[in-house]
């Protein structure tokens, strides 16, 4: 049987060196992707197969049986790499899916909260605008009512005819007419003829007339003026708005007519001393 060019010791040392080299290569390329890892594993397997081929005498039978074994080892190592990758990548993928779901949920909640805040702000703005419009409408209505009231009161007031101040002659006729206007304004009855008749009998129309001989004079309160009124009677029946001078014609006439109205009903009923 022909002898191989390598002896057994040398073959053993070569296999150890090749195994160490293959292991170093595998360690160096652990961080590579799947295709590079498979390539490294294939190189290692093919190296081992070559060593086995060289160690077998006759060569033909060893080659025929060694090649299928190399392919089987490559496939097994590929499967192990796939299993190892699944061991690390599948949980990571599941974790990433969970993280993506959590992030999507958080984003949806944030979007919903933002929409709610926007809707609340819009509602508050609308409510404020509505309140402002109502307040302005109320203010305008109040202003319109305020402007309408004075106009209504002005329309309700009767239009008074402007009358020029009446003037009276400074004589008996003027004194009587002036006195009658005051008496009518105060509700004191009497007529022109009733006043004139009594004035002519009492004083003959002299506003400075004084009685110094009757009982009143004896008592110290003589009758004075157009209608011969004693001072106590003048003071008691004095008509407001007239002079307090007993000799004033209008003041004397109105006080005497006021006294006659209380005692006789009207000056017209007096035909003698009263």
21 pLDDT more than 70 = no
65 pLDDT more than 70 = no
**CA gap 174, 171 in Å, rounded:** 5
**CA gap 99, 273 in Å, rounded:** 129
**Banded model confidence at residue 226, pLDDT cuts 50, 70, 90:** very high
CB 225 within 8 A of CB 202: no
Give residue 259's pLDDT. Answer: 97
Share of the chain above pLDDT 90, in %: 38
**CA gap 191, 183 in Å, rounded:** 10
Q: Residue 210 pairs with which residues in a beta bridge? A: 224
150 pLDDT more than 90 = no
Give residue 134's pLDDT. Answer: 87
Long-range contacts of 14-17 (CB under 8 A, 24+ apart): 14/51, 15/48, 15/51
**pLDDT, mean of residues 169-184:** 97
Give residue 12's pLDDT. Answer: 58
Q: Which residue has the tokens 């170093």?
A: 24
pTM for the model: 0.43
129 pLDDT more than 90 = no
Give residue 207's pLDDT. Answer: 97
If you compute the radius of gyration of the chain from its CA atoms, what whole number of angstroms results? 71
268: how many CB neighbours lie within 10 A of its CB? 19
**Banded model confidence at residue 274, pLDDT cuts 50, 70, 90:** confident
């Amino acid at each position: 049987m022909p002898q191989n060019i390598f002896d057994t010791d040398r073959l053993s040392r070569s296999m150890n060196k090749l195994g160490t080299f293959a292991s170093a290569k595998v360690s160096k390329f652990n961080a590579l992707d799947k295709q590079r890892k498979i390539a490294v594993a294939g190189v290692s397997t093919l190296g081992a197969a070559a060593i086995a081929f060289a160690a077998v005498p006759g060569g033909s039978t060893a080659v025929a049986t060694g090649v299928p074994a190399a392919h089987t080892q490559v496939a097994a190592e590929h499967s192990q790499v796939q299993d190892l990758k699944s061991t690390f990548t599948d949980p990571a993928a599941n974790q990433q899916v969970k993280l993506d779901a959590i992030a999507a949920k958080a984003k949806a909640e944030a979007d919903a909260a933002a929409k709610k805040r926007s809707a609340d702000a819009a509602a508050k703005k609308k409510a404020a605008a509505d309140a402002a419009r109502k307040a302005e409408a109320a203010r305008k209505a109040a202003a319109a009512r305020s402007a309408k009231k004075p106009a209504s009161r002005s329309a309700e007031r009767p239009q008074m005819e402007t009358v020029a101040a009446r003037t009276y002659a400074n004589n008996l006729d003027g004194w009587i007419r002036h006195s009658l206007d005051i008496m009518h304004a105060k509700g004191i009855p009497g007529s022109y003829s009733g006043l004139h008749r009594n004035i002519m009998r009492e004083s003959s129309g002299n506003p400075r007339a004084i009685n110094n001989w009757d009982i009143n004079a004896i008592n110290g309160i003589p009758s004075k003026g157009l209608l011969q009124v004693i001072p106590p009677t003048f003071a008691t029946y004095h008509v407001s708005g007239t002079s307090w001078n007993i000799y004033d014609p209008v003041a004397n006439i109105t006080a005497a007519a006021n006294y006659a109205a209380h005692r006789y009903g009207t000056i017209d009923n007096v035909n003698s001393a009263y």
